[in-house]
Amino acid sequence: MERAYANLFAGRTAPPRYRKKFLADSFRYPQGFKLDGRQVYLPMIGWVEFWESRPIEGTIKNVTVSRQGQHWYIACQVEVDLPAPVHPASAAVGIDLGIALFAAFSDGAVHPPLNAYRRVEKKKACLQRKLAGMVQYSQNWKKHQQRIAQLEIRIANCRRHFLHQLSTETSKNHAVIVLEDLQVRNLSRSARGTMAEPGRKVAQKAGLNKAILDQGWGTFRHMLEYKQARRGGEVIAVNPRYTSQTCPACGHVSQANRPHQALFSCEQCGYSYHADVVAAINILAVGHTERLNACSPH
């Protein structure tokens, strides 16, 4: 609180706000806790049993207790001395992220999207309509709100599970991963506009934004970065400009090279292949060039 008010009086931040109930329910113990098998002693609470999802290795520095829906979780931050990692693989891959296909790899592999939110979108809308007709803050209203929260947690868990599986498999088999440097916030910006200058095709852009946010591109990149750092690999983010319009065979750049969403056909040399895979090949080439320029002496 002292730091918050010091920043306020210095003009660096807004006034501190009261902590709201049920929002970001978590607290941390930097000291005073004890672990004994599958029990943890939390000061002011006592001994609490927990299910150990993985063995705890190293020296425990602090524990964080958090809540998601109706469940409580405990996370232990540990300190472990690890040797410098050396990645077991030597291959490099470029990845093109999209909506019709979640990821297309430069080696020809494609991965369809999960669309975790789209699968239960109608069910969630039905639950929300039912909630709107209830007496606010009644017992049934609270129970129904918990059902909606559980559905949202299920969506997030399904998406996270899908991204963890794909990122782990990709990180294990490739030492260098080249991605598009996508600005998701800019891509999913609303096109509604203002009263004086209303936007165009607002409904279509809203549907596109919903599909973009359902993919989890930023989370996938974050997972790849920390998993590659753990294994001794590398993640390179490159500018995606013209990667879907450039022919990897002759280098010709034209918007006409992509007559359809899933087809790339060079109008100059006749090279034809899957459009997303072609984009991934170009992304890998750009990343390889940037890597060589960074390593070369000036």
Q: Helices 202-215 and 217-231, interaxial angle, to 10°?
A: 20
Q: Is 276 a catalytic residue?
A: yes
Per-residue tokens: 204: 């279509």
In the chain, the amino acid numbered 79 is E
Task: Report whether 95 contacts 177 (CB < 8 A).
Answer: yes
Whether the CA torsion 206, 208, 214, 218 is positive or negative: it is: negative
225 flagged as catalytic = no
Select which of 96, 181, 197, 225 is catalytic.
96
Which member of 2, 36, 57, 180 is catalytic?
180
CB 284 within 8 A of CB 93: yes
Structure tokens at 5: 């008010």
Write out the chain in H/E/C secondary structure: CHHHHHHHHCCCCCCCCCCCCCCCCEEEECCCCEEECCEEEECCCEEEECCCCCCCCCEEEEEEEEEECCEEEEEEEEECCCCCCCCCCCCEEEEEECCCCCEEECCCCEECCCCHHHHCHHHHHHHHHHHHCCCCCCHHHHHHHHHHHHHHHHHHHHHHHHHHHHHHHHHHHCCEEEEECCCHHHHCCCCCECCCCECCCHHHHHHHHHHHHHHCHHHHHHHHHHHHHHHCCEEEEECCCCCCCECCCCCCECHHHCCECCEEECCCCCCEEEHHHHHHHHHHHHHHHHHHHHHCCC
Q: Mark whether 181 is an active-site residue.
A: no
Catalytically annotated residues: 96, 180, 276
